[in-house]
């Protein structure tokens, strides 16, 4: 099987490398891209389970891609995060948030923001393998079916 480039490498190859040091990105910027990456992983897992109606796919996805589940996932990962990952998570969790979740407590929303910031940081660092690894560990730990 032919080895494919990661999405980030494909983007850089087609549009050019980014000159910005991602360590300077705000936690909310990291969470913004991390939210999309997390959702893409979950959507991919759900779609690959088999053909379903779009409404069914959406309902299944939204049960997992929500602040409450993300908060539980980051708690399940507490023992496997590196010091650097814990630092990124804390920056995201402790950042000033100017919005609120529709169906989550402020505590869960903050934890979810930290989780998304971590996903975004790892993705932009080119470490998509670690993003997928952490999501897999959390899904298994919480016994969440995709």
Tokens of 96: 């000033």
Residue 97, φ and ψ in degrees, nearest 5: -105, 130
What does the alpha-carbon distance between residue 124 and residue 22 come to, in Å, rounded to a whole number?
A: 7
Q: How far apart are CA 51 and CA 108, in angstroms?
A: 32
- Give me the catalytic one of 21, 35, 79, 108: 35
What is the Cα–Cα distance from 85 to 123, expressed in whole angstroms?
A: 12
Cβ neighbors of 54 (< 8 A, separation 6 or more) are none
**35 classed as catalytic:** yes
Instruction: Compute φ and ψ for 38, nearest 5 degrees.
Output: -60, -45
Check: CB of residue 115 under 8 Å from CB of residue 92: yes
Q: Where in the sequence numbering do the catalytic residues fall?
A: 35
């Amino acid at each position: 099987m032919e080895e494919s480039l990661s999405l980030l490498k494909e983007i850089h190859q087609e549009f050019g490398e980014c000159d910005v040091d991602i360590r300077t990105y705000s936690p909310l910027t990291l969470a913004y891209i991390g939210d999309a990456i997390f959702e893409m992983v979950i959507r991919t897992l759900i779609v690959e389970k088999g053909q379903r109606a779009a409404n069914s796919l959406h309902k299944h996805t939204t049960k997992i891609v929500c602040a409450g589940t993300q908060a539980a996932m980051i708690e399940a990962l507490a023992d496997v995060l590196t010091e650097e990952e814990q630092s990124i998570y804390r920056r995201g969790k402790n950042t000033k948030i100017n919005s609120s979740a529709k169906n989550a407590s402020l505590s869960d929303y903050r934890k979810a923001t930290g989780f998304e910031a971590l996903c975004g940081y790892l993705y932009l660092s080119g470490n998509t393998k670690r993003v997928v690894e952490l999501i897999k560990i959390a899904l298994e730990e919480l016994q969440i079916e995709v």
